[in-house]
Amino acid sequence: MLNMLNDKFIHMQQKTYIEGNACIGGSEQSVTDRSSKSTSLETDISVTSSTVTRKRLSDEVRLLLERLYERKRALNSKERHLVAKVCGLSPRQVRVWFANKRRRANAAYNRN
């Protein structure tokens, strides 16, 4: 699965680079695609009485995200959607994971 995602990720980066050079705005995305964000609560948080429990990412998904982070510290929308689809996460969860990872890395750097 990791090899498949790496291949798709590399192909998508090349395609995005080519499309970005072909037109200034990059790839065109319709307004309906942008506004189709889910407003329901994600299933990764369940509330029981007064405690909040969060599901952890599987080791495979976490390793995949770590490897992608080593290659690229921030993903564009297309990359985020592809990673989310392969990992079984929402694009927002992927975006938050990368943002948290950058924040932790910066905090560790600033401590030294």
CA dist., res. 69 & res. 98, Å (int)? 7
CB 19 within 8 A of CB 27: yes
Q: Rounded to an integer, what distance in angstroms lies between the CA atom of residue 28 and that of residue 16?
A: 11
Extents of the domains making up the chain: 56-112
For 1-112, list the strands marked E by DSSP.
45-48, 51-54
- What is the spatial distance between Cα 3 and Cα 5, in angstroms, rounded to a whole number? 5
Q: Which residues of 17-47 are buried (b: 16+ CB within 10 A; e: fewer)?
A: eeeeeeeeeeeeeeeeeeeeeeeeeeeeeee
At the top level of CATH, the class of 56-112 is: mainly alpha
pTM assigned to the model: 0.56
Q: Would you write out the chain's pLDDT as a tens digit for each of its 112 residues?
A: 566 676 767 666 666 555 554 444 444 443 344 444 444 444 555 656 667 777 889 999 999 999 999 999 999 999 999 999 999 999 999 999 999 999 999 998 888 7
Dihedrals phi, psi of 62, to nearest 5 degrees: -60, -45
